[in-house]
Amino acid sequence: MAPPILILRDIHLTFGGTPLLEGAELALSAGERLCLVGRNGSGKSTLLKIAAGLIQPDGGERFLQPGTTLRYLPQEPDLSGFATTLAYVEAGLAPGDDAYRAKYLLEQLGLTGEESPARLSGGEARRAALARALAPEPDILLLDEPTNHLDLPAIEWLEAELKGARSAQILISHDRRFLETLSQATVWLSDGRARRLDKGFAAFESWRDEILEQEEVARHKLDRKIASEMEWLHRGVTARRKRNQGRLRALFELRKQRRTAKAPAGMTAMEASAGELSGQLVVQARKISKSYGDNPIVRDFSTRIQRGDRVGIIGANGAGKTTLLNLLTGQIAPDSGSVKLGVNLQMVTLDQRRDSLDPAATLATTLTGGRGDTVAIGDRKQHVIGYMKEFLFSPEQANTPVGVLSGGERGRLILARALARPSNLLVLDEPTNDLDLETLDLLQEMLADYDGTVLLVSHDRDFLDRVVTSVIVSEGQGRWAEYAGGYSDMVLQRGSGVEAKAIEKPRRAAREETPRAAPAPRRKLSFKEEHALKALPARMEKLQAEIAKLQGLLADPSLYARDRATFDKATAGLHEREAALAEAEHEWLELELKREEIERA
């Protein structure tokens, strides 16, 4: 193996009095692709920042070979101070770098380069940051969750780009397929230490399980030895004789070893609160269509979803996955066709956008709804501290504001809150965002045991393969097709995946040809359009606040039995506002695109 160009040796770091890293080590050679894995909170992102030179550890050594270029992709990039996304990416280039590559990468990631950073969504900002990291073709790439907010075409494009790059890479990701495709070595961060496997991620889980099994056996042996020595100690006077003080000191040392040889922390189970049994028919859609302006989102689509089905909805960003999901669940009405929902449905939606989380509320208040110190889980109640522990929160975090939680912690909080509500229909929109691999395992096991029906939007190919019984995939131009099995089964039946070249090129060509075929764009928006463009953001913000308030009201599991009229009114109001928000968002997007087209003309 080539000599390392980046070395972290005996790294120690303590946060708030609690050791996070205790002698962690890492080495990266030229051209090597290494994945860094571990549960949320184990210090992966922190270790990556130390490798990037952004955090100074309490102890240990960082070595970077002189002359080596390094680029780091953060989870939350800062684009402030730049006029456009292209300016932001170009600012990361060094003299002699290919300036054209900045524009090329932005286009491959679905951006034009003309976007204002102030108006970017979180996903668009991460795409721009990814282009900035890749553009200089550095010697070392440090990428923290690069697939977050990318759709399937972009993920598969990124895999090919990284596989062909000369850069050495350290990757943090919850996407198993992504790690299996790229990694050549694996570093497992646990209990402050880093263990290395000189094989890719595909071999990691069996290797990890062997280590955990060996450690469990060692703990049992230590427990038996301590029990034997304690029995000797309790016999009485012999333990106090001078010639046995060495044995007594050895016992104290054994007990010290046992305290430090703790079992690895992790969630051991995840369970959804079961609702009443739904009817056999859950959703029946007949020739439904939905368009926004001249843009068809769904065209003549039919499906029948029955109790126990687990249906995945996949496609490129902008294909209309969330719109289709809202049509199938009755959140919005189709322009034509019909949707029939089954009887006795109890639907719970996993809001991975986290819009309904109040950043000022505490973790305990979010779980209890501010009503006492217990969480209602179906027909039983559990103290909030115990329920928090099941999702890897410490008792000390009970009064922690939601706004300071990490992305992974907010993801677990969303799960904890959603799974406490009785349901027979789970609607999951990107549930894997920010979840670690162990939590994903438990979520997959829970869904496998779930008695109800699951509708799932996801870009995680491995998660889809493990969970769904069929997939509905965008075929472009508002057409959708259903295939039996998971993502890999769909690829075999369809002959291709949701690939960037197959889907994006026609859309790009259409955008290029349209200006030549269409008449010259209008010089300015009409007064009515100008007014709508200014007023819509405030309206959307108001609707989001009203939705959050209604969702908070409906989160009360006793509301239905206690006040049926209020429950029905809140449910109807929620559906009405969600439909209004979807309409407002699409109207604003159309007007914004029109404004940009006029400005470019």
Q: Annotated binding site: which residue ranges?
A: 38-45, 315-322
Tokens of 66: 């002189």
Cβ 26 vs Cβ 47: under 8 Å: yes
- How far from each other are the two terminal CA atoms of the chain, in whole angstroms? 55
Give 283's contacts (C-beta < 8 A, 6+ positions apart): 303, 304, 305, 328, 329, 339, 340, 341, 342
Helical pair 152-163 and 122-134, crossing angle rounded to 10 deg: 10
Tokens of 465: 């393969």
At 439, the amino acid letter reads T
Q: Supply φ then ψ for residue 220, to 5 degrees.
A: -65, -40
Write out the two tokens for 419.
């799974």
Report how far Cα 510 is from the mean position of its chain's Cα atoms.
32
The half-sphere exposure of 370 on its side-chain side, counting CA atoms within 13 A, is 5
Residue 460, token pair as written in the block: 């995680």
CA distance 165 to 171: 14
Q: Which residues are annotated as a binding site for ATP?
A: 38-45, 315-322
Q: Is 508 exposed, middle or buried (0-12, 13-18, 19+ CB in 10 A)?
A: exposed
Q: Are 142 and 71 in contact (CB under 8 A)?
A: yes
- Alpha-carbon Rg for the chain in angstroms: 27
Q: Which tokens hold the place of 59? A: 């102890």
CA gap 500, 480 in Å, rounded: 17
Q: Give CA 31 to chain center in angstroms.
A: 28
Task: Judge contact between 321 and 457, C-beta under 8 A.
Answer: yes
Q: Helix H segments across 146-300? A: 152-163, 176-182, 204-233, 245-260
- Tallying the residues shown for the chain, one arrives at 601
Give the dihedral sign, CA 47/49/52/56. negative
**How far apart, in whole angstroms, are the C-alpha atoms of residue 340 and residue 323?**
16
Instruction: Give the count of beta carbons closer than 10 Å to the beta carbon of residue 551.
Output: 16
Instruction: Take residue 547 and report the two structure tokens written for it.
Output: 């939705």
